[in-house]
Structure 1
Amino acid sequence: MTIHSDGAHPGSNRPISSSTGPVRRRSLSQDDLRRVLDSDRRRAIVRCVHTADVPITVQRLVACLADAEYDATAVTTLHELRQRVHVSLHRTHLPALESRGIVTYDRNEGVVSSGANFAAVESILDGEALLEHPAARTE
């Protein structure tokens, strides 16, 4: 089953805006969406963006994710965890989500917002009741 978040024709090549240039719209299969959401951190990113309901700064996103993952009994300090989260967002998770049109990542402004295929991801997460996870809080 293929998801078309805006009802566009499957062969549509309408560009999606991106800070790195136009990303061609492509339909995403349920399997592709599930593969990208196999990562707990990517699901948490989607939850934070969903909860913010407006573009969210990368700094705030890092804080949201690190605070949710932090274990006071662990050897890693919160500062070290935030650094690791920041690096993984820039190198792995945000590019993976952006390439599929799930988020838009403006590297120059340091802002993440929902992308053209965000609604498709929301419906999957809603079905799994993951949007109510504590990591969704961004304040």
Structure 2
Amino acid sequence: MTIHTDRLTTALDRYAPGSSDDLEAILSTDESIPRTAVRRVLDSDRRCEVLRCLLAEDGPLEVRTLVARIADVEHDATAVTPLLDLRQRVHVSLCQTHLPLLEKYRILSYDQTAGHVTPGATLSAFEAVLE
């Protein structure tokens, strides 16, 4: 796995405690999300990229399309890992870890059988933080 030093800060790191109106907006929505859940969601670059892709798409997205987009963002042409291997790793981590977590907090809906991800009730609350 390649570690990109320019990606070590997460979306949450860009907001100092108490100074982020956008972060507070997420916490004060009608579909309230616990502060620890917001931190957990924003602590992963892959989860943030999933949210960005869903916000950009504004509708259902196939998991394979999501995997391809995230692998393309993470791919380093100078890396030893082939793109196909990276896509397989992204697919496994999304399906086993990231998508179920995001679904748990109603940020998205993940249909494993159909292979689709759709925006959830609380997704729009993350839009301002991810810009």
Higher helix share: 2
Q: Does 1:94 align with 2:119?
A: no
In the other structure, the counterpart of 1:104 is: 109
Of residues 4, 28, 46, the one that matches 1:3 is: 28
Asked if 2 retains the 8 angstrom alpha-carbon contact of 1:63 and 1:82, the reply is yes
In the other structure, the counterpart of 1:54 is: 59
Which runs of no fewer than 5 residues in structure 1 stay unpaired?
8-25, 130-139
Higher strand share: 1
In the other structure, the counterpart of 1:32 is: 37
Q: Which letter does structure 2 place at the counterpart of 1:37?
A: L
TM score, norm. by length of structure 2:
0.75
Percent identical across equivalent pairs? 50
TM score, norm. by length of structure 1:
0.71
Could you say which structure has the greater relative contact order, defined with CA pairs below 8 angstroms and 6 or more residues apart?
A: 1
Q: CA deviation at 1:31?
A: 4.1
Aligned length: 106
Which runs of no fewer than 5 residues in structure 2 stay unpaired?
1-23
Superposition CA RMSD, Å: 1.5
Asked if 2 retains the 8 angstrom alpha-carbon contact of 1:104 and 1:114, the reply is yes
Asked if 2 retains the 8 angstrom alpha-carbon contact of 1:3 and 1:30, the reply is no
